[in-house]
Chains A and B, each alone.
Chain A
Amino acid sequence: MNVRDMQALVERVTAPSAPPIYKRLYGQSERAIRAIEDWHALPPLTKEVLQATPLRERLFVPLRDVFHGIYVSSGTSGRPPIVMPRARLDGFGFSGSEYGRVLLSSMNYPHRAEHYLRKLGRAPRVVALDPKRVTPCVRLAKAAGVDGMYVYPFLLPEIGRAMQAIGYAHNITRIACGGEHTTTSLLTFVRQVFPRAELSGNYGMSEVEDSPVGELCHALTPEAPVSLYHPKEHMHIDLAHPESGIHLPLRKGSVGELLLTSAPPGPLALPLIRYRTGDLIEIVEEACATHGKLAFRVLGRAEEESLKIEGGVLLATEVRRVLRSLDGLLSDEFELHHREHETADGPRPEITLCVERRGTVNFAALAREIAERLRVGPAYTYARGVAEGRYLPLRCEPFLEAGGRKRRRLVKK
């Protein structure tokens, strides 16, 4: 975007006929964007603003034009979910080769996957993957003749096991991953279990109507596992210090919170302007050697309040609740380390919880107690996941001194 585009966008969202969300955010004074500094001075749009703004005050199209559907941010950060209407059904710009002929999809809203196949001139043959019911969905996928998948990375081990059990994994030739970055161990597992599959992916988020946000620079392999993304067309990125909010340059090596502006042409339920995504990114290349485009990688969540694992989500608020329930044995300070441990059945989460004790503690017994209480999903505890073979047993260790650095609550390694 150039400054003129920025000015036009701000005028659009603060027009007299526009809903009040941005007019309220920017104040009553007219916001003129004459230089890039004016743009950087605009207050960012935040999740808190979205949560506090009733839907009717942030809907830029009539309800009947919410053609795609109403998304919900999953609430994985422990806060109330945000309802996000989507007028646009499009967003994916892939050639379609990533999807195969018949698709097993965990894409939000199966009708969207069908739409993309129709756009590619193909029969809209999609089997929707229910994350809570992987095995029967895989059986349906086999019957349907699925040869491609669009799935979240953390589901791949379970899908792989289910497909291996029915002798179908070798039929998969395309795997597109969405939403999360992958690890070397996961990619190694994928190569072993799905030997014929090419792997691709994208970076998206439910708040962004024109999602995905980023497209992969190169195919994912165990040798090149780092997901490098280019901003998709009509996505403008800014970088901000996650605590001070100060603008950071898009220079190689810069690390900061991604502020996203997404306002493609056409009807939009909500143009996003400098939206604080909560994701930490690093600028890896200002112009990559292959495409000449800015390339970034996603480091994790700025607030580190949640980690997705197979079967659910680890929430910092939930860990704190469990620690507080232990009758003062521990403080509620903690650091949770998540690794993927390679097993014969694929990578499994390995969780180590570093805690601050207030007395004598048997850490092995403590770990078992915490696992029994720690909810990963509705009616699903970490202990149950261990019993079902999904996770390795929880470990507890005492805190080591942070050495002056800021403690991070959830750490993915």
Chain B
Amino acid sequence: MTRTELLAVLEHLEPAIAALESRVVPSSFDPDDPEMRAVPLPLKWRWVSCEALFAAWQPRIVMSRLPIFLQVEPLLYAACQTVGAPIALNEPQNMPVGRSIIEQADVDTLVTTVEDASVFSAHLAGAGAQLPRRWLLIESVRKPKELPAVLKRRQIAVAREMHLFPGVPVLAQCLALSAQKKSLYHAPAGCDVRPGAPALVSVEGLPFEVRELELPISLHHEAPCACGREMFAAS
């Protein structure tokens, strides 16, 4: 299955979404994407990889700088609730307010996009402000970008996820990988990832079929992770 075929499925499905008992997310992280479609997700959809990561991290307070447009705040809130961590929202455009929230509330965990992490971490470092100790970064499926130097500091853990659509991760990192900060990933629960060039993914639980979808990256097997799970290197 190609991305073009997937978008065609979504386009065909869109008139029926209103009659489904579903939430919607955009098909793209880019609000200006001319190919953007509405993606229905079951109302019971959970961000399981985030919940698993939070179970390991046990965050105290989670701040999200994810654009509201991505429609994932309720999923992130549910993940925060599994560990009893309050959530704070900060508009990406308002970095000084974000810095103030981190300082006033002693935020220890930040969730944002890869692009924003680069900009915001530079803002915090430039202001001599404290950085949250843990960062969860999400992005669309693509060749991984280098982390900014600020986030490579040993005392900061960074977990990265690649999402097919916002809220639908297909590659995620565990506690051990968040410490290593390399382009190594697991397949989250509900995803069947087949390494190769290109890699293929099948996703369960969606109200439409995603089977052996070609991803715009290559994956190859690595030795099993310290957590015991199958691990892939992305390029």
B:76-100 near A, CB below 8 Å: 77-78, 81, 84-91, 93-95, 97, 100
With the chains together, A129 CA to B77 CA distance in Å?
Answer: 17
Contact residue among B21, B38, B69, B90 (Cβ-Cβ distance under 8 Å from A130): B69
Chain A contacts for B94, CB-based, 8 A = 378
Q: 1/0 per residue B19-53: CB within 8 Å of A? A: 10111111000011000111000010000000000
Given A140-B26, A143-B38, also A70-B73 (CB < 8 A): no
The answer to the question of A139 belonging to the interface, with a C-beta cut-off of 8 Å to chain B, is yes
Which residues of the other chain, B, contact A109 by a CB distance below 8 angstroms?
73, 77, 87, 89
Q: Which residues of A contact B206 (CB under 8 A)?
A: none
CA gap between A126 and B101 in the complex, in Å: 26
**Are the CB atoms of B36 and A130 closer together than 8 Å?**
no
Is B175 on the interface with A (CB-CB < 8 A)? no
Would you call A125 and B61 a contact (CB within 8 A)?
Answer: no
Tell me the complex Cα distance, A82–B91, Å.
Answer: 15
Q: Which residues of B contact A85 (CB under 8 A)?
A: 86, 105
B195 interfacial contact with A, CB 8 Å:
no
B17 in the interface, Cβ–Cβ < 8 Å?
Answer: yes
The answer to whether B9 has its CB under 8 Å from any CB of chain A is no
Q: How many angstroms between the C-alpha atoms of A139 and B33 in the bound complex?
A: 12
Within the complex, which residue of A54, A132, A145 is in contact with B19, where a contact is CB–CB below 8 Å?
Answer: A145
Most buried by B among A64, A83, A102, A133: A83
Given known contacts A136-B36, A136-B69, A144-B17, A75 and B86 CB-to-CB distance under 8 angstroms? no
User: Is residue A392 contacting chain B, with contact meaning CB distance below 8 A?
Assistant: no
User: Is residue A63 contacting chain B, with contact meaning CB distance below 8 A?
Assistant: yes
Asked whether B196 is an interface residue with its Cβ less than 8 Å from the other chain, the reply is no
Contact of A378 among B32, B61, B84, B93 (CB under 8 A): B93
Asked whether A337 is an interface residue with its Cβ less than 8 Å from the other chain, the reply is no
Within 8 Å CB of A126, what residues of B? Answer: 23, 74
- A331 within 8 A of partner (CB): no
Does A132 lie within 8 Å of B74, measured CB to CB? no
* B104: Cβ under 8 A from any A Cβ: yes
A114 partner residues in chain B, CB cutoff 8 A: 74
* Contact yes or no, B86 A132, CB < 8 A: no
Judge whether B18 and A136 touch: CB under 8 Å.
Answer: no
Across the interface, do B93 and A72 meet the contact criterion of CB distance under 8 Å?
no
The contact size tier of chain B is 35 or more
Q: Is B67 interfacial (CB-CB < 8 Å)? A: yes
- Nearest chain A CB to B76's CB is how many angstroms away? 9
Contact for A128 among B73, B78, B100, CB less than 8 A? B73
Determine the chain A residues whose CB is within 8 A of the CB of B26 once the complex forms.
136, 140
Flag if A69 contacts B88 (CB, 8 Å). Answer: yes
Which residues of chain B are within 8 angstroms of A130 by Cβ–Cβ distance?
A: 31, 67-69
Judged by a CB distance under 8 angstroms, whether B60 is at the interface is: yes
Query: With A123-B21, A123-B43, A130-B68 in contact, is A70–B74 under 8 Å at CB?
Result: no
Within 8 A of A (CB), among B89-125: 89-91, 93-95, 97, 100-101, 104-106
Q: A140 to chain B: which residues have CB within 8 Å?
A: 24-26, 38, 71
Question: By the criterion CB–CB under 8 Å, are A129 and B68 in contact?
Answer: yes
Contacting residue for A143 out of B24, B86, B87, CB 8 A? B24
Known: A110-B74, A140-B24, A143-B24. A63 touches B36 (CB 8 A): no
Query: Could you tell me if B84 and A64 are in contact, using CB atoms closer than 8 angstroms?
Result: yes
B85 surroundings in chain A (CB, below 8 A): 64
Q: Is A241 an interface residue (CB 8 A)?
A: no
Is the Cβ of B77 less than 8 Å from the Cβ of A69? yes
Interface assignment of B14: CB less than 8 Å from any CB of chain A: yes
Mark contacts of A80-91 with chain B using CB atoms, 8 A cut-off: 1 yes-contact digit, 0 otherwise: 111101000000
Among B69, B77, B81, the residue within 8 A (CB) of A137 is B69
- Assembled-state Cα–Cα distance A133/B23 (Å): 18
Complex contact B89–A80 (CB within 8 A)? no
B24 touches A132 (CB 8 A): no
| Given A75-B97, A125-B21, residue A144 in contact with residue B104 (CB < 8 A) | no
* Cross-chain contact A70 with B61 (CB below 8 angstroms): yes
Complex Cα spacing A80 to B99, Å: 11
- How many angstroms between the C-alpha atoms of A160 and B219 in the bound complex? 45
Residues of B within 8 A of A43 (CB): none
Question: Most A CB atoms within 10 A — which of B14, B37, B78, B91?
Answer: B91
A379 to B94, CA, bound (A): 10
Query: Are A69 and B87 also in contact (CB < 8 A) when A81-B100, A378-B93 are?
Result: yes
Question: Which residues of A in the span 97-135 have a Cβ within 8 Å of any Cβ on B?
Answer: 102, 108-111, 114, 123-130, 132-133, 135
| Contact A143 B18, CB 8 Å, known A83-B88, A129-B68 | yes
CB nearest to A113 among chain B residues: B74
Whether B43 pairs with A63 at a CB distance below 8 angstroms is: no
B104 contact set on A, CB distance < 8 A: 54-55, 82-83
The CA of A125 and the CA of B85, in the complex, are separated in Å by: 24
Q: Inside 8 A of A64's CB, which chain B residues have their CB?
A: 84-85
Residues of B within 8 A of A136 (CB): 26, 31-32, 36, 69
Q: Are A69 and B68 in contact (CB under 8 A)?
A: no
Closest 10 CB pairs of A and B: A145-B18, A143-B38, A70-B88, A66-B86, A130-B68, A130-B69, A111-B77, A64-B84, A83-B104, A136-B31
Interface pairs (14), CB distance under 8 Å: A63-B60, A67-B86, A70-B88, A81-B101, A83-B88, A85-B86, A110-B71, A110-B74, A111-B74, A114-B74, A127-B71, A129-B68, A132-B91, A140-B24
**A-B contact sample (5 more), CB < 8 A, given A126-B23, A136-B69, A137-B69:** A54-B104, A70-B86, A85-B105, A114-B74, A140-B71
Partner-B contacts on A (CB < 8 A): 54-55, 63-64, 66-72, 74-75, 80-83, 85, 102, 108-111, 114, 123-130, 132-133, 135-137, 139-140, 143-145, 377-379
